[in-house]
Amino acid sequence: MTRPRPRVAIVTFPGSTDDRDTYLAVELLGGEAVTVWHADRCLPDVNAVVLPGGFSYGDYLRCGAIARFSPAMRAVEEFADTGGLVLGICNGFQILCEAGLLPGVLRPNASLAFVCREVAVRVERADTPFTTRAEAGQRLLLPVKHGHGAWHAGEGLLARLDRNGQIVLRYGAGENPNGSVGDVAAVANERANVVGLMPHPEHAVDPLLGSPDGATILGSLLDAARDRLPAIV
Amino acid sequence: MRATVLVRPKQGILDPQGAAVEASLRQLGFAVGGVRVGRIVDLEVPLVDGELEQARAEVRRMCERLLANPLIESYEIDLHPGG
């Protein structure tokens, strides 16, 4: 018996750059990738949505600020409201924060320099639909490449998110590439069906790419998406 | 009617751009401190029956929805009914 392939929508905005890699990674890991254009008003029948990295709408005004009002994002918001799985990578994370689907906001790197390198992150929560293939405390090696990756939240908000277990990944000690508060690399919403992260799991799904650790994140997402498929009898 | 929106990084929020500009100004020999970099949005809005407050409320809605992120930015609105 073959395992059913979960269907994953990948939304392309004008200026997205990592939609193709995300597509290939999802297919490589056994999912069925479905492309969605930013102007599409509804999502196809899918079990998860990924917002890929890039520079949607040229990063004008603030990163993600304009993309969040695109027709496809309205559909993504409805999908998330009903408990649908949504992962935002880099620019996708920025869009989710601007849309209010995730807490906080991404600001320019403290160094003002674009960073492009591998970083080690620590898995803080292994019980979200995006991290079940990892263990709490596990170290993952993932690439980052961004100029606006400093996640920011006020002290009160950060403490509340920490208490609620909404901090999913943290940069390892001395590894924070952007100056994010609390070394935060990934956050979840309260229901943990929406997660955003700055590192790029889709660029690290094979040892040939430097690290296979991204498959831990995307594979977890596919497992969770597969669980949402109707049972075949 | 012309309107100007001034968006600033909120007080207490680290502004790396301002810090870089400040360092550069100091390098040029200027005695300067507290540099913050924001952005200006100039726009044209309809002025109906001279209702300035109505126009201001409309621009405020633009700021809340799109032009500023209230988590990190504050904004000021200037209306120019004569110009």
Categorize the per-residue pLDDT at A66 as very low, low, confident or very high, splitting at 50, 70 and 90.
very high
Among the partner-chain residues B66, B67, B72, the one whose CB lies closest to the CB of A152 is: B72
Question: pLDDT of A211-226, one tens digit each?
Answer: 999 999 999 999 999 9
For tokens 């949402």, what's the residue? A228
Categorize the per-residue pLDDT at A49 as very low, low, confident or very high, splitting at 50, 70 and 90.
very high
The answer to whether A217 touches A197, Cβ cutoff 8 Å, is yes
Asked if residue B64 has pLDDT above 60, the reply is yes
Q: Do B72 and A112 touch (CB under 8 A)?
A: no
Interface test with B, best of A102, A105, A106, A146 (most B CBs within 10 A): A105
Spell out which residues of chain B touch residue A59, defining contact as CB-CB under 8 Å: none
Write the DSSP assignment of A113-141 as a string of letters: S-EEEEEEEEES-S-STTTTTS-TT-EEE
Categorize the per-residue pLDDT at A1 as very low, low, confident or very high, splitting at 50, 70 and 90.
low
Residue (of A85, A84, A80, A82) closest to A101 by Cα position: A80
Measured in angstroms, the CA of A229 and the nearest CA of chain B are apart by: 36
Write the DSSP assignment of B17-51 as a string of letters: HHHHHHHHHHHTT---------EEEEEE----TT-
Give A213's strand partners: none
Give the separation between CA A109 and CA A115, rounded to whole angstroms: 8
Write the ipTM: 0.83
Among the partner-chain residues A61, A105, A108, the one whose CB lies closest to the CB of B71 is: A105
CB pairs under 8 A between A and B: 31
Residues of chain B that touch chain A, judged by Cβ-Cβ distance less than 8 Å: 13-14, 16-17, 20, 66-67, 69, 71-72
Write the DSSP assignment of A135-186 as a string of letters: -TT-EEEEEEEESS-EEE--HHHHHHHHHHT-EEEEEPTT--SS--GGGEEE
Three-class secondary structure of residue A59 per DSSP: helix
Q: Do B14 and A110 touch (CB under 8 A)?
A: yes
Q: Return the pLDDT at A190.
A: 97
Both tokens assigned to A127: 């019980």
- Supply the mean pLDDT for chain B: 95
How many CB atoms are closer than 10 A to CB A226? 17
Q: Do A105 and B69 touch (CB under 8 A)?
A: yes
Asked if residue A127 has pLDDT above 60, the reply is yes
The answer to whether A169 touches A197, Cβ cutoff 8 Å, is yes
Residues of A with catalytic annotation? 90, 200, 202
Average pLDDT over residues A146-165: 96
pTM over 0.90: yes
Element (H, E) at A188: strand A184-188
Q: Return the pLDDT at A232.
A: 55
Residue (of B32, B6, B26, B12) closest to B72 by Cα position: B12
Q: Return the pLDDT at A229.
A: 77
Question: pLDDT of B30-39, one tens digit each?
Answer: 999 999 999 9
Asked if residue A233 has pLDDT above 50, the reply is no
Asked if residue B77 has pLDDT above 70, the reply is yes
Give the separation between CA A188 and CA A169, rounded to whole angstroms: 10
* Nearest residue of A to residue B41, measured between CA atoms: A61
The answer to whether A92 touches A16, Cβ cutoff 8 Å, is no
Question: pLDDT of B39-57, one tens digit each?
Answer: 999 999 999 998 999 999 9
Q: Return the pLDDT at B82.
A: 82
Categorize the per-residue pLDDT at B12 as very low, low, confident or very high, splitting at 50, 70 and 90.
confident
Residue (of A59, A129, A27) closest to A87 by Cα position: A129
Question: pLDDT of A169-197, one tens digit each?
Answer: 999 999 999 999 999 999 999 999 999 99
Q: Return the pLDDT at A231.
A: 57
Q: Return the pLDDT at A4.
A: 83
Give the separation between CA A199 and CA A175, rounded to whole angstroms: 12
Among the partner-chain residues B16, B66, B72, the one whose CB lies closest to the CB of A105 is: B72
Give A29's strand partners: none
Asked if residue A81 has pLDDT above 70, the reply is yes
